[in-house]
Amino acid sequence: MARAFADIAFTPAVQARQEAEGSRSSYARFEQPHIEELNTLGPEEVSFIEARDGFFQATVSETGWPYVQFRGGPAGFLKVLNDKTIGYADFRGNRQYISSGNLTDNDRVSLILMDYPNRRRLKIWARATQVSAKDDPELIKRLQPGGYRALPERAVLLAVEALDWNCPQHIPQRYTLSELEPQLDTLRTRIFELEQENAGLKECLANSTS
């Protein structure tokens, strides 16, 4: 945990709740000036971000309601542009434009990136800028995942304000089909071998009784 995270997350209301629950003393030290801010992306964050095939994104409407959306695409569609900026091509969906509309009024955004097999979670707070596809085709080209045919309507650039690696407690282990494929391939090979062995034994048995 770092000071940039604490500065954003530990509001007076949160601090009061921590005090009431007896955890305030454990977290107050992260608000001290000598604690590292941790608002830049290092090699660990870069490799983690660019390996993800989806993330949860939260925005807030002008009426104060939060909206959480899952953004998915091929692994690597969320790109690190530099140590303070990440971005993605925003593809046409159901055309509700809730996240996009929220960001025109309030540029604050938070992301949660999950690695379920390894029970890892990265939280990012950022400020978003939306860039129309027609206004910067070169940026869209840079963010467009190779071989992905979905139509981008805009680019979303996220200037990182803070980040935090969360503890693995209570994160379930889940696997995608692609993550399970090596194990499934081993099982398919073994099943094939057993089927061949079973067929041979059946043939042997049939020959011995004929």
d(CA 204, CA 190) in angstroms, rounded, equals 21
Percent of the chain with pLDDT over 70: 96
pLDDT digits over 17-49, tens only?
999 999 998 888 777 766 666 688 999 999 999
- Residue 78: the pLDDT is 96
- Residue 101: the pLDDT is 95
- State whether 117 and 86 are in the same domain: yes
d(CA 103, CA 109) in angstroms, rounded, equals 8
Query: In CATH, what number is assigned to the domain containing residue 73?
Result: 2.30.110.10
Confidence of residue 193 (pLDDT cuts 50, 70, 90): very high
pLDDT at 200 over 70: yes
Q: Which of 22, 116, 96, 98 is nearest to 57 (CA)?
A: 98
- State whether 50 and 129 are in the same domain: yes
- State whether 55 and 147 are in the same domain: yes
pTM over 0.85: no
- State whether 64 and 125 are in the same domain: yes
pLDDT digits over 118-148, tens only?
999 999 999 999 999 999 999 999 999 888 8
- State whether 94 and 125 are in the same domain: yes
DSSP string, 2-17: -HHHHHHH--HHHHHH
- State whether 138 and 96 are in the same domain: yes
Q: State the total domains in the chain.
A: 3
- State whether 54 and 87 are in the same domain: yes
Q: Which domain holds residue 181?
A: 175-210
pLDDT digits over 59-109, tens only?
999 999 999 999 998 999 999 999 999 999 998 878 899 999 999 999 999
Mean pLDDT (whole number) for 47-52: 96
- State whether 44 and 73 are in the same domain: yes
